[in-house]
Amino acid sequence: NAGVTQTPKFQVLKTGQSMTLQCAQDMNHEYMSWYRQDPGMGLRLIHYSVGAGITDQGEVPNGYNVSRSTTEDFPLRLLSAAPSQTSVYFCASTPLAGVGETQYFGPGTRLLVL
Amino acid sequence: AQKITQTQPGMFVQEKEAVTLDCTYDTSDPSYGLFWYKQPSSGEMIFLIYQGSYDQQNATEGRYSLNFQKARKSANLVISASQLGDSAMYFCAMREGLYNQGGKLIFGQGTELSVKP
């Protein structure tokens, strides 16, 4: 089991460029989520999904799009990157019926927007 | 209003001593869960311990225990016999509601723990 994988590990973008952060999990988890972590702050929820074809917004969704065409994959798209999106991005997954189960986090993607 | 509050931005503890990291939460949902995560300098999120809102007993996992005081809405993490490898950022998080009903995980701002030799 690879668990939750994220690519790339590190990315530098110029303002206005677009990119997709990839996230995949091989645990057959229905629930997947994207967080961003800024210095001195905890993780904040961007978007989440409870299954293929179903997504919803979290606390800080502006500037980000998601889709969920398969159980395994949950990509995060930045349509026009801004310096304020410089952050570390974590993807996570968990079973939908998981009450006491943790979310399983990927290793993170460090994004720098110039 | 903050849903998860960690009031200690940074703490120091002597190696082999116990330390308590504070966490208070705010929710009106009767079904919630409380988690603690460790984030070392390498950046990964490591799950430590879980406490459910209906659990009668405090959770324990090895050197970690969760002091759950439901009426006070607090869920403090106790690390016994601190080790140098415990130096890290610690996050308290709350799952508000159930995942199959759109529940979400909400994080506090974290406490940076430094263990002194």
Distance from CA of B61 to the nearest CA of A (A): 14
Residues of chain B with pLDDT > 90, as a percent, come to 89
Mean pLDDT score, B89-106: 91
Residue of A75, A8, A41 lying closest to B2 (CA atoms): A41
Residue of A76, A75, A87 lying closest to A13 (CA atoms): A87
Residue B9, classified by CB atoms within 10 Å of its CB into exposed (0-12), middle (13-18) or buried (19+), is exposed
What is the token pair recorded at A110? 């460090």
Mean pLDDT score, A49-54: 94
Look at A48 and B52 and tell me if their CB atoms are within 8 Å. no
* A75 within 8 A of A21, measured Cβ to Cβ: yes
Q: What is the pLDDT of residues A23-45, one digit of tens each?
A: 999 999 999 999 999 988 899 99
What is the token pair recorded at A21? 């952060």
Which residues of B lie inside 8 Å of A (Cβ-Cβ)?
A: 4, 9, 33, 35, 43-45, 47, 50, 52, 91, 93, 98-100, 102, 104-110
Residue of A56, A66, A61 lying closest to A21 (CA atoms): A66
Look at A42 and B4 and tell me if their CB atoms are within 8 Å. yes
Length, in residues, of chain B: 117
**β strands within A1-114, DSSP E:** 4-7, 10-13, 19-25, 31-37, 43-51, 54-57, 64-66, 76-78, 87-94, 104-105, 109-113
Q: What is the pLDDT of residues A73-96, one digit of tens each?
A: 999 999 999 999 999 999 999 998
Look at B44 and A107 and tell me if their CB atoms are within 8 Å. yes
Secondary structure percentages of chain B, helix, strand, coil, to 5:
5, 50, 45
One-letter identity of residue B68? F
Residue of B72, B77, B73, B96 lying closest to B38 (CA atoms): B77
Give the closest of B9, B43, B50 to A102, CB-based. Answer: B50
Residue B1 has a pLDDT of 62
Q: A99 versus B14: which is more confidently predicted?
A: B14
Mean pLDDT score, B71-99: 95
Distance from CA of A114 to the nearest CA of B (A): 22
Look at B105 and A58 and tell me if their CB atoms are within 8 Å. no
